Structure 1
Amino acid sequence: MEVIFMNKLSRVSEHHEEIAQLWIGEEENSWHLGWSCYEAGDREDTIWYEGNSWEELMHIYRHQLAMQMSEGYRPLMHGLYNENEDMKPRSYAGQRLHCFSELYGNEQLYEDLCTWRRQKAASDRKAPYFVATNRLLRLISAFVPHTMDELMQLPGVGESKAAEYGLEWLELMSGFEQSRPFPLDWVYIVLKEEEYESWLYKQKEQKYKQELDKFITRKHVLEGMKEGQTLEAIVNRSGLSRRELIELLEILDLEGYDTDSLLDVELAVMPETEQEAVWNAYEELGDTFLKPVLLKVYGGDRPEGGSLEQVYERLRMIRIRFRRHTETERNVG
């Protein structure tokens, strides 16, 4: 195997330096990504990836590297990431407050705030994150503001949020001791740089894990379509719901992937006259909303032998073809 990239990393743990190597190799048109640890003269290899997809290798590389760096490893040669861009967040001060709150927060108070948020979201009929994000609740639980002025020193608390929920938050705070004073300038001195860097890489790890999961899901869907699998088979393979899969099909079709084989299989049970009526409804009403098309084609009656959810699935699948046809005509014109 020919090694095309290698970098040495190290971390100090209990006065002992641990050495590792990150490497990428190529052999017989296959890519290999690995991690090698050295201790007491012994080498232990871990293979992260073997295959022919450079794109998949890079997704795994970013995720695994962020994981190792969040655990304290640092490279001998910089440039594994674009540090100039990635390691300088837009709000340096705000990010340090977030870091401190996640590392040294009051878990009991955080749980109380989460309970309050669930109840408030239910009573206001809002999604919980519209009431307050996890990060904001972490900040409140870590710094325990006792006045409105202190509360508004926290990133994410503006006049509107303070006016809407501030008094309820302060009432919750009244039962907890404020062990850390305001203003919060002391955080930037107390928080260790190594802690902060590891926390930043933990954020990267989470970000790249989401990107990797998204890539693997798309891979399963594309492979399933290529193999001629049904919608249900691809659902089982990818872990997506049927609605999520159809929404992804819309995106893939826009990106130029061939979705016709799967659409042919799923729409084979739908009479051609019914498909034509749906197509004509899109031409007349547009393709932005499904309900007007549903009412135009079926009136107030649900088609026989199918649930309303199945009808909407077929409307979405015909819309994929309709939009592609419309875009093609526009480009030709």
Structure 2
Amino acid sequence: MEVIFMNRLSRMSDQNEEHAQLWIGEEEGEWHLGWTRYEEGDRVDAIWYDGSSWDELLHVYRHQLAIQMGEGYRPLLQGLFHENDDLKSRSYGGQRLHCYSELYGNEGLYMDLCIWRRKRAASDRKAPYFIATNRLLRLISAFVPQSIDELMQLPGVGENKASEYGAEWLELTNGLERSTSFPLEWVYTVLKEQEYESWLYKQREQKYKQELDRFTTRKQVLEGMKEGHTLEEIVNRSGLSRRELIELLETLDLEGYDTDCLLDAELAVMPEEEQEAVWSAYEELGDTFLKPVLHKVYGGEKPGGSNLEQVYERLRMIRIRFRRHTETEQNAG
């Protein structure tokens, strides 16, 4: 195997410096990504990736490196493969307040705020995150504002939020002891740079994990289509719901991937005249909304006792073909 990239990393632990190496190698068209840690003369090797996809290797690289940097390791060569993106631009302001709130928040108050949000979301018939994000509740739990003026010094609280929910938040915070004060400029000097950087890399770890999961899911779907699997088999393989999978198929079709084999197999049980009626409805009504097409083709009742979600599923699959056909005609014109 030929090593084509290597970077040395180190961290301080109990006044001792620990060292590690991150390396990328290539052998007969296969990529290898590994991590070697040295501790008290011992060498511990871990393989993070073996495979033929450079893109997949990069996703694994960024995620795993973010984990190590969150644990305190710092590379000798910095800025490679985007591991330091945005750190300078995010070094001040709201990010430090968010960091402090997550590290030093009042867990009891945070849970009370979550219970309040759940009840308020139910009464308002809104999604909880429309009421308040987890980060905002963390800020309130850490800094314990006891007036509207203090509340509005928190990132994410404007006049609308303060007027709509402020009084209820203050009911939960008033009377609680706090060891800090407003304004919050003190956070920028009290928060240690090392713990702030580690927190930032934890955020990166979560971001890269999500990107890696999306990449892996996409790969599983593409492989499933190539191998001729059914929709249900790909659902079981990828962990996506059927609706999520069809939405991904829409994206893949737009990107030029061949989805016809899978669509053919799934729509084979749908009568040809029924498919033609759906197609005609898209031509007449457009393809933005499914409900008008449903009523146009089937009237107010579900067709043939079929499950309504299954009907919508087929409408979405026909829409994939319809949109591709429409785009092809537009490009030809």
Calculate the TM-score normalised by the size of structure 2.
0.98
- Alignment partners' CA distance in 2, 1:15 and 1:91: 26
1:92 positional shift: 2.0
Residue 194 of structure 1 aligns to which amino acid in structure 2?
A: Q
Residue 152 of structure 1 aligns to which amino acid in structure 2?
A: M
- Alignment partners' CA distance in 2, 1:134 and 1:302: 40
- Alignment partners' CA distance in 1, 2:61 and 2:153: 38
CA contact (8 A) 1:89 1:95 kept: no
CA contact (8 A) 2:230 2:262 kept: yes
Residue in 2 that maps onto 1:70: 70
Residue in 2 that maps onto 1:242: 242
1:195-246 CA-to-partner distances (Å, cap 9, x unmatched) read: 1100110000000000000000101111110011111000000000011111
1:280-318 CA-to-partner distances (Å, cap 9, x unmatched) read: 111111111111111111112322152111111100000
Residue 288 of structure 2 aligns to which amino acid in structure 1?
A: T
Residue in 2 that maps onto 1:284: 284
Residue in 2 that maps onto 1:169: 169
1:32 positional shift: 0.1
1:91-144 CA-to-partner distances (Å, cap 9, x unmatched) read: 721100000000011100101100100001001111000000000000000000
Residue in 2 that maps onto 1:183: 183
1:174 positional shift: 1.5
- Alignment partners' CA distance in 1, 2:40 and 2:191: 33
CA contact (8 A) 1:145 1:178 kept: no
Residue 119 of structure 1 aligns to which amino acid in structure 2?
A: K
- Mapped pair 1:257 → 2:263: no
Residue in 2 that maps onto 1:115: 115
CA contact (8 A) 2:78 2:84 kept: no
- Alignment partners' CA distance in 2, 1:326 and 1:161: 44
Q: Secondary structure at the match of 1:210?
A: helix
- Aligned-residue identity in percent: 79
- Mapped pair 1:54 → 2:54: yes
Q: 1:78 to 1:91 in 2, by over 3 A?
A: closer
1:21 positional shift: 0.2
Q: 1:24 to 1:190 in 2, by over 3 A?
A: same
CA contact (8 A) 1:37 1:44 kept: yes
Residue in 1 that maps onto 2:152: 152
Residue in 2 that maps onto 1:80: 80
Q: Which runs of 5+ in 1 are unaligned?
A: none
Q: 1:312 to 1:280 in 2, by over 3 A?
A: same
Residue in 2 that maps onto 1:42: 42
1:241-295 CA-to-partner distances (Å, cap 9, x unmatched) read: 0111111100110011100000000000001111111111111111111111111
Residue in 1 that maps onto 2:270: 270
Q: Which runs of 5+ in 2 are unaligned?
A: none
- Mapped pair 1:142 → 2:142: yes
- Mapped pair 1:329 → 2:329: yes
Q: 1:263 to 1:207 in 2, by over 3 A?
A: same
- Alignment partners' CA distance in 2, 1:294 and 1:91: 52
1:40 positional shift: 2.1
1:85 positional shift: 4.2
Calculate the TM-score normalised by the size of structure 1.
0.98
- Alignment partners' CA distance in 1, 2:155 and 2:298: 51
Q: Secondary structure at the match of 2:80?
A: coil
- Alignment partners' CA distance in 2, 1:247 and 1:83: 31
Q: Secondary structure at the match of 2:78?
A: coil
Q: Secondary structure at the match of 1:92?
A: coil
Residue 88 of structure 1 aligns to which amino acid in structure 2?
A: K
Q: 1:271 to 1:83 in 2, by over 3 A?
A: closer
Would you say how many aligned residue pairs link Structure 1 and Structure 2? Answer: 333
1:82 positional shift: 3.9
- Alignment partners' CA distance in 1, 2:46 and 2:210: 22
Q: 1:302 to 1:84 in 2, by over 3 A?
A: closer
Q: Secondary structure at the match of 2:301?
A: coil
CA contact (8 A) 1:36 1:43 kept: yes
Residue in 2 that maps onto 1:317: 317
- Alignment partners' CA distance in 2, 1:231 and 1:167: 50
Q: Secondary structure at the match of 1:304?
A: helix
- Alignment partners' CA distance in 2, 1:330 and 1:199: 49
RMSD across aligned positions (CA): 1.1
Residue 291 of structure 2 aligns to which amino acid in structure 1?
A: K
1:42 positional shift: 1.8
CA contact (8 A) 1:7 1:21 kept: yes
1:90 positional shift: 5.1
Residue in 2 that maps onto 1:24: 24
